[in-house]
Amino acid sequence: MDDILQNWLDRYLVAWRSNEPDDIRALFTDDATYAGSPWDAEPWVGADAIVAGWRAHRDEPGTWTFEGAPLALTAGTGIIQGRTDYAGGSVYANLWVIEFAEDGRARSFVEWAVEPGPVWEVQE
């Protein structure tokens, strides 16, 4: 798989651990969008908004672990599959869908985070 996706994931994890504005900003184009869910009606738009939103909702270092890997990359869109475990016991299965610019920064990021449990309940 192309190194662009693994490189971006590695840099994302650095930013997630540090919460430093320069680390976050380096991941995204100036006009990028960041949606915390595919249903997010108001994604963060622009690098400054992404940095501000990230820092306002940051996860403190040491409060989470992430295991994941690139799943697919095609036509400038990458998918990363992972799992996030939080110190308080919350667990999420993650899919990140990232559209890349030519320079390897994301111009669009959408997170799909799913909590464990049945997706479908049978109605009797």
Domain that holds residue 102: 3-114
Full DSSP string of 64-119: EEEEEEEEEEETTEEEEEEEEEETTS-EEEEEEEEEEPTTS-EEEEEEEEE-SS-S
pTM of the model: 0.90
Q: From CA 87, how far away is CA 99, in angstroms rounded? A: 30
- Residue 120 scores a pLDDT above 90: no
CATH number at residue 61: 3.10.450.50
Q: Which of 40-49, 50-59, 109-118 has the lowest mean pLDDT?
A: 109-118
**What is the phi/psi pair of residue 94, to 5°?**
-120, 140
Residue 123 lies in a domain: no
Q: What is the CB-side half-sphere exposure of residue 82 using CA atoms within 13 A?
A: 21
Q: Could you give the number of structural domains in the chain?
A: 1
Residue 94 lies in a domain: yes
**pLDDT tens for each residue of 65-109:** 999 999 999 989 999 999 999 999 999 999 999 999 999 999 999
Residue 124 lies in a domain: no
Beta-bridge partner residues of 100: 106
